[in-house]
Chains A and B, each alone.
Chain A
């Protein structure tokens, strides 16, 4: 694999991990624009556990401790934040990310404004397997009864309550687990590039990640995978095609085209590229024989 391809693969993997961190709460209807905040927490905490404490913890342990640290903070702030909903939750989580960023810039023991070097290196052989684990975990998580409860909360919170779903607890769990995944992504970012500064994790990153998830679709666990892959690959591929073909206008105008494409996507697929119905249709295409049998068995009323 060329160095260029590898760099693209790393970006793709990190995007996927971040996207699942936003997807888990989004599946229950939470709009979380605080991705940058949790990524910052994960990146800084892991770097500090790894090299800053004097104890020189191994990388895997630092990453896990950072996840626990971020999880505790996410759990604590989830109670005030989950009192808000819709666009107000967007604002509350955005504010949280800004606060984290502001603190990181002003903490001298993690480098302050000049950034923080990270000791241990995580290369592609670490990041790719971890990404696959995150994907598998997310599919598992959404297939559980808790996942079913989260999807029910997304559709109708009060009816979910009447059937015994503890809405508050389910939302807190989704928010916290999502934050821990983003922390994991942030830690891997730090350990891969071996240098972090808080300004890298800005609101634009949060917006992009939320877009991956909303464009990909929040109804199935395929959504964030498709969204992240699409956003990470398409602009870069367009650039390559444009440059190799000598099309200057395409190389420069690709983000405009990409923006127009997003608008079209919102018009024609407002619930995201991958919806539940589309998944079923694709699934029955793959297993046509089986589908016919089960239709005969259960379709009559």
Chain B
């Protein structure tokens, strides 16, 4: 068994003449918490879309757990052990909280018997109970009788993580999970993710909140204009001149900003 859960090598993607991802290669260690950071437009979300099969890759290979999934269609990638949340919340607005979570179970219930099982008519069945327990473990209520569209933003963000978790992934991809959350909600989210990580799930997270990244992650990959410019630990990333130049900003910048204000 390889030490790497996710291996990306020579990934290329262009939209028209624009090279969005240009020869990106990196590996994600098993059970690690890896962050993918970089300025807006660097290609972070594109990489997520390539990993989950929303877009087709132009060149290169992706493998999960030693299995090459480059040509696996999007609807089957979740069964390989990969699940994600989205930058803008993409829960199903007309479904209840529990129903949204039960959608996350779909990949594990694709045989005819499970597809034709009347989830909605049986108030107590294994799938529903499992969904409710997953919500409870994450500290989210089940909010009976409400569609998710009416719930607070921070709660919806966590429901997205729970929905991704119930597909029982080996690799959890989180696209800006802390964006738009206040301090309390960010802390709740971090506790939830640490709990997920302790269960052995590997986390790959795109995030702009560097405090959150430092607290959560043990490995960082930095992208700029579709190219990987750095890979290393959170301590190293703050020393790297290229990263400071492209994304984090230098002390000079801070000084200038202070002057202006």
Question: Hey, which bits of chain A sit against chain B, CB under 8 A?
Answer: 139-140, 142-149, 151-152, 154-156, 158-167, 219, 276-277, 280-281, 283-284, 291, 294-295, 298-301
Contacts and interface: CB of A to CB of B under 8 A. Distances in A.
B92 interface: yes
Contacts of B90: 156, 159
Nearest to A221: B120
Given A164-B106, A165-B106, A299-B142, 7 more contacts: A144-B115, A145-B106, A145-B116, A156-B92, A158-B54, A159-B90, A165-B103
A299 B118 contact: no
Nearest 4 CB-CB pairings of A with B: A143-B120, A164-B107, A298-B142, A155-B92
Interface string B57-94: 00000000000000000111111000110100010111
B75 A301 contact: no
Nearest to B154: A301
Interface of A: prevailing SS: helix
Interface in B79-136: 79, 83-84, 86, 90, 92-96, 99, 102-104, 106-107, 109-110, 114-121, 127, 132, 135-136
B76 A164 contact: yes
Contacts of B145: 280-281, 283-284, 291
Nearest to B108: A164
Interface of B: 52-54, 74-79, 83-84, 86, 90, 92-96, 99, 102-104, 106-107, 109-110, 114-121, 127, 132, 135-136, 139-147, 150, 155, 163, 167
A140 B118 contact: yes
29 contacts: A143-B119, A144-B115, A144-B118, A145-B109, A145-B116, A148-B106, A149-B103, A155-B92, A155-B95, A159-B92, A160-B92, A162-B84, A163-B83, A163-B106, A164-B79, A164-B106, A164-B110, A164-B167, A165-B75, A165-B103, A167-B75, A284-B145, A291-B145, A298-B141, A298-B144, A299-B142, A299-B143, A301-B139, A301-B155
Contacts of B53: 162
B96 to A, nearest CB: 8
B103 A160 contact: yes
Contacts, number: 125
Nearest to B104: A163
A146 B116 CA distance: 6
Contacts of A146: 115-116
B54 A144 contact: no
A291 B109 CA distance: 29
A213 to B, nearest CB: 16
Nearest to B73: A161
A45 B206 CA distance: 58
A151 B95 contact: yes
B50 to A, nearest CB: 13
A140 to B, nearest CB: 6
Given A164-B106, A165-B106, A155 B94 contact: yes
Contacts of A158: 54
A82 to B, nearest CB: 16
Given A146-B115, A148-B103, A162 B121 contact: no
Contacts of B79: 164
A166 B77 CA distance: 12
Nearest to B160: A159
A276 B120 CA distance: 13
Nearest to B110: A164
Nearest to B102: A148
B141 A301 contact: yes
A262 B257 CA distance: 59
Nearest to B114: A145
B140 A301 contact: yes
